[in-house]
Structure 1
Amino acid sequence: MTLAPAPARALRIGPIDLDVPVVLAPMAGITNTAFRLLCREYGAGLYVSEMITSRALVERNDTTMRLIRHHESETPRSIQLYGVDPKTIAEAVRIIVAEDHADHVDLNFGCPVPKVTRKGGGAALPWKSSLFAEIVEQAVKAAGDIPLTVKMRKGIDPDHLTFLDAGRAAEDAGAAAVALHARTASEFYSGHADWNAIGELKQAVTSIPVLGNGDIWSADDAVRMMAETDCDGVVVGRGCLGRPWLFGDLAAAFGAESRPVDATLGFVADAFRRHAQLLVEFLEDEDHGCRDIRKHVAWYFKGYPVGSDVRTGLATAQSLAHIDDLLGQLDRDAPYPGADAEGQRGRAGRPKRPALPDKWLESRDVAADAGEMLRGAEIENSGG
């Protein structure tokens, strides 16, 4: 893995000083306490929770209350909230602040999932500019001294872009930073991220940090994004799937102290085993933890000489002992496979017409009778 040399870089988000300008993107079912801890062991930066539904937090849903817990070693603590109702989001932020659940809150306006956008949530919401501004304003007020940031997409589709207006509105509302996933909702995760849009947002938003997200598969990509767009930091999502040590590569690339990684198959196997152990501890159940690690098998061992029997076994393992037996069959000295292990990770999907509420695009104002529909966008469970 080649690391591009770069001058030492840091990032300040409100009162939070980060040694490197790197943020772990919230990912449903991925960025739980276990994965965040593992990433921290390799690198530095800000590590954000899974997406938390504001209504579920206000109603103190059991799953949600578990998802917002942080390990005592995590600092700063970060929670991402999703919602569509300004009052509910503000109340969720007040709970986080009053009960000391986090040091940073991020608002999700980038989710492209149809079950969210078809009711006006996620990446669809910034189209309703006054509603977007009200949500950010009330959330910032509720956050008080805790920095509140916004993550968004370019817009709904190429004909309905919102990122420049939303970025300026978030800045005016007092957000501490804005992050742009440089794709539209219609693109989902397909094609290539439009880094030029990140540069445009940086030109439009001048008083707070602008972070870039999209197609960061290596430390070289992160350094190149910052050089090409002049953004203040990077948000890393799918690039770290099955590769939590990417945060060590990023720390080194941005001038922080970091141990070099020799990603032999033995190193990867140890990281996978550590992840499984942390999941068992987080979920407080060995069977549950071993089932949860299954989704990570293909990502960890991409490009490595791991036979189908071992891969299938790891994808069905029900105990740590079984995982140990399977990992013991690997050639630990097998070297890093290079290009075969690089590039895109996770599902890209295909461009698709976004699912939107009826007549959503006819106006940038919220219809008087839209309240019930928008409340329906607040899915019951967090993390997905």
Structure 2
Amino acid sequence: MSRIFRLGLIINPLAGLGGSVALKGSDGVAKEALARGAEPKAQLRMAQALEVILAYRDRIEIITASGEMGELLAKEMDFKVTVAYQANKQTEAGDTQAAATALQAYGLDLLLFAGGDGTARDLFSVVDEALPVLGVPAGVKIHSGVYGITPHASGMVVKMLLDGELVSLMAADVMDIDEVAFRSGTVKARRFGEMQVPAEPRYIQAVKMGGKEVDELVLHDMAAEVIEQMDDELFIMGSGSTVAAVMAELGLDNTLLGVDLVQHQQLVASDLSAQALLAQTQANPCKLVITLIGGQGHILGRGNQQLSPTLIRRVGRDNIIILATKTKLKALEGRPLIVDSGDPELDKALCGYFKVITGYHDYVMYQVANPDLVA
């Protein structure tokens, strides 16, 4: 008989709240995010990971915290559950740290958690390198290397462990940024240390590469290509310095870490939330301009949660315009571009080859093929 796999489970219920309402994070602004109509997503993201291992429930004991920090979801999915920590009704960073301390006493095989960089940082302050951890991406900021590329990918890593496959451990960086500066358009990332993560390159994301593209001529050429395509449609301008180059070429103010709306080469609205984008685009044909996160390859689901699955479906696959320098594409070393919209069916529908703008009248065909969806 196989031994029971002790899976620690911690969910940060507030993770990612600020993304869809254009707050660019959740640290210290959870109440404001909820007041703006944000809906918690961390439970859903963890559920997507746990669905991968439902067939193994008789071999798993989940050690978790009470309520929304893990107990409710694990019991709803019919896992055997032990509650090791009683969380406060309104959870905060201290609950994550206290839960991690309590869970460690149970001799965990793996600690699975849902959150963002702030959650990883809170766990690191307690766990350090004492046991293997794995993150389910649920936050706005995912710079750390301790996460699966999608929730499903995180579940696939746990499944590999349950199947007895040889999975090495690697030391992965815990990163976080200054959210106050982030909301003002400045990225100040800091490395806090390392945690031990199951090393499966297909499913574990890389640490985000920082810095702006140095070849300004290439950015100018890509911007000229996009502007040439601008007609009567609404253009949804995603976040990032590559898209910002298009806005600069148009002479328009740009929200570097937000989403803006342009029509007839004029700024219509700035720094829109998911709800505002849906309202603004309801009666107009749209195109979406996005770029990838250097080093990771994500084009949706990292720092642009304002781009909801409903909006992406409204835009349509053929109206998604991807910009990337050849330098960034080569740095992926053949890995596909990744979408992590929060809707697995939409992610599957977006798989395939896209024409990526790499210059003026210069394109490459590049694959979007989330490895965890085709494994």
TM range (shorter): under 0.3
More strand by share: 2
More helix by share: 1
TM-score (norm 1): 0.27
Which structure carries more relative contact order (alpha carbon 8 Å, separation 6+)? Answer: 1
